[in-house]
Amino acid sequence: MNRRQFTLTLSAAALYATSFTASAQSWPDKPVKLVLSQPAGSGADAMARMISDQLSKKWNQPIVVENKPGGQNAIGAQAVSRAAPDGYTFYFATAAALVTNVYLFKNLPYDPRKDFVPVGMVGKVPFAISVNASSKIKTLSDLVAYAKANPERLTVANEGPKTYSGMMTRLIGAQLGIQVNSVPYASVSAGVTDTVGGQTEVIVSDVPSIAQMVKAGRLRPLAVTTAKRIAGWESIPSLAETLPGFDYAGWIGIVAPARTPAAAIQRFNRDLDAVLSDKDMAARLLDIGPITEGAGSVDQMGAFLAAEHARWAKLTADLDILPE
């Protein structure tokens, strides 16, 4: 390369860097839409609105939270996958929408690996195994002993075989070597109600869904599904203490339609990380459910998604679960 070519190359690189910075600084110059697959009033909806409120202050632009529930997350995911990749539509997505649906459903109306690009992580949501507070089952060891003495009689409420809680029910049963009677519910709240009422003996659910009943002394958590005990529930053992290496949690991340401008993604990531790194915000989110450690980088989010796909592909194969 001669001196003239070298100078031109440097000039082009500088021009690109300047235009990228200018683009990042000017975005957004109109309202941003944040789509989620859960209904208004849900825990995910509350999280999305709390985060959006802080981001809108940083951007001096409103963020419109749009609820598109239904279809095991497919309705919301499909809407975002078909949105214009102009940097003004993003998806507040669950593990089911971005990963597990791929291994449970044959015909999804979207492809999470091709239709979206990562923006950042919001947080992880631990799950728990809980019983009615009046149950004679006091510990995880009690549960295993009862289930082994009464094969397939232990009733375990969850949200159905193609949901995270349903998958956890199967996985936990397989790894503990017990056979249970899995009872699917249309909603986690219905499962909680029946377990509190004694219609089912156990419930596998996300921690936020049972938190109030635990505080009220009506449910007793036996274990959490994360590798370590969780803040505020330090007296509850993790499943990893019985099953070394066990570490599963639901999670929420933000993605954008494929081909969304990099400047918008980088700005969103940077500001999302700043919002989530605020101690007060982290504490407020923890009250609703997710444990956040900041957004991480775009590349970290991408690597996390790839690792989750590899893990769930193996898990469903090991459990002989085929997409239907």
For the chain, what are the domain ranges?
A: 12-125+249-318, 126-241
pLDDT at site 22: 47
Give me the torsion for CA of 300, 230, 41, 80, rounded to 10°.
20
Question: How sure is the predictor about 262, in pLDDT bands with cuts at 50, 70 and 90?
Answer: very high
| CATH architecture of residue range(s) 126-241 | 3-Layer(aba) Sandwich (3.40)
Q: Is the pLDDT of residue 11 over 60?
A: no
pLDDT at site 65: 97
pLDDT at site 24: 56
One-letter amino acid at 280 equals D
pLDDT at site 62: 97
Domain 12-125+249-318 has CATH 3.40.190.150: yes
Percent of the chain scoring above 90 in pLDDT = 78
pLDDT at site 13: 47
- The span from the CA of 133 to the CA of 217, in Å, is 6
Q: Which residue has the higher pLDDT, 39 or 324?
A: 39
Residue whose pair of structure tokens reads 């289930």 in the numeric block: 147
pLDDT at site 324: 82
Q: Which residue has the higher pLDDT, 13 or 115?
A: 115
Residue 116: closest CA among 308, 242, 249, 259: 259
- The pLDDT of 155-167, averaged and rounded, is 91
Percent of the chain scoring above 70 in pLDDT = 92
In which element (H, E) is residue 184 found?
strand 181-184
- The span from the CA of 22 to the CA of 235, in Å, is 51
pLDDT at site 18: 43
194-242 tens-digit pLDDT: 999 999 999 999 998 898 899 999 999 999 999 999 988 999 999 999 9
Residue whose pair of structure tokens reads 């219609």 in the numeric block: 199
Question: How sure is the predictor about 2, in pLDDT bands with cuts at 50, 70 and 90?
Answer: low
* Contact residues for 66 (Cβ-Cβ < 8 A; gap 6+): 33, 34, 35, 36
pLDDT at site 163: 87
Quick one: tokens of 30?
């109109």
- The pLDDT of 57-86, averaged and rounded, is 96
Question: How sure is the predictor about 42, in pLDDT bands with cuts at 50, 70 and 90?
Answer: confident
| Widest CA span in the chain | 83
279-303 tens-digit pLDDT: 999 999 988 878 999 999 999 999 9
Question: Given its phi and psi angles, is residue 254 left (phi above 0), alpha (psi -120 to 50 degrees) or beta?
Answer: beta
Question: How sure is the predictor about 314, in pLDDT bands with cuts at 50, 70 and 90?
Answer: very high
Handedness of CA 94, 215, 52, 304 (dihedral sign): negative
- The pLDDT of 154-159, averaged and rounded, is 95
Residue 144: closest CA among 106, 175, 170, 111: 175
Q: Do domains 12-125+249-318 and 126-241 have the same CATH topology?
A: yes
In which element (H, E) is residue 116 found?
strand 116-132
- The span from the CA of 305 to the CA of 273, in Å, is 18
Q: Is the pLDDT of residue 23 over 80?
A: no
Quick one: tokens of 290?
């997710």
- The span from the CA of 162 to the CA of 324, in Å, is 10
